[in-house]
Amino acid sequence: MAFNWPNRTSGRRPALGRALILLFTAATLAGPARAGDATGQASVIDGDTIEIRATRVRLFGIDAPEHDQLCHNRHGERYRCGQIASNALAAFIGRQTVACVEVDRDQYGRTVAVCSAGKVDLADWLVRGGLAIDWPRYSKGDYAAAEAEARAKQTGMWSGRFVEPWRYRQCITAGGRPGACSSGANSGTRQGMRPLEAH
């Protein structure tokens, strides 16, 4: 399922910083929860979306490649980076309890949240592993350090070339085909440490 982030959140800055939210995540396990908070076993929908007890939760501040999106490895070969991100997130979560603290709602009323498994922020884990990228338009740089680490180590998508997921969705919405939209033919791409110009 392809999501369009501007339709998923109003983009307003959370009242509390991400670190403070994580400190209070444990309190949601014992205290009264807000309507958008969710705790329990999680099913992975895609690389940045999970579901807990029928509550669909979009991870705040990041963007992972779409399920049909392709990236290029260091040898220029295509691979299903969206599928890899989803599978890696599912394997990492396993049977752990996931706790999510809502920081926003999108225009459809869906929860946008900071989620953790144990003491690990799932969004940070994804970005640090090169499986997703910081989306500064919404995160205000909360995951910039994690992305910088992944870029420096050429981890995950940063070992090759990829199109930012939001640009991929724009390309698909405009009628582009997955292969062309994944190659950067109709969209900006990133490679290693630097963005590439659109062709």
Structure tokens at 162: 């990829």
Residue 99 dihedral angles phi and psi, to the nearest 5°? -115, 125
- Residues near 4 by beta carbon (within 8 Å), at least 6 away in sequence: 169, 173
**Signed CA dihedral, 70, 72, 77, 82: sign only:** negative
The pLDDT value given to residue 77:
94
Rounded Cα gap, residues 95 and 92, in angstroms = 9
Tens-level pLDDT at each residue, the chain (199 residues): 333 444 444 444 444 455 444 444 444 444 445 656 999 999 999 999 999 999 999 999 999 999 999 999 999 999 999 999 999 999 999 999 999 999 998 777 789 999 999 999 999 999 999 999 999 988 989 999 999 999 999 999 999 999 999 999 999 999 999 999 998 654 456 654 333 333 2
Q: How far apart are the first and last CA of the chain?
A: 26
Residue among 174, 108, 149 nearest 49 (CA)? 108
Q: What is the pTM of this model?
A: 0.78
The pLDDT value given to residue 106:
76
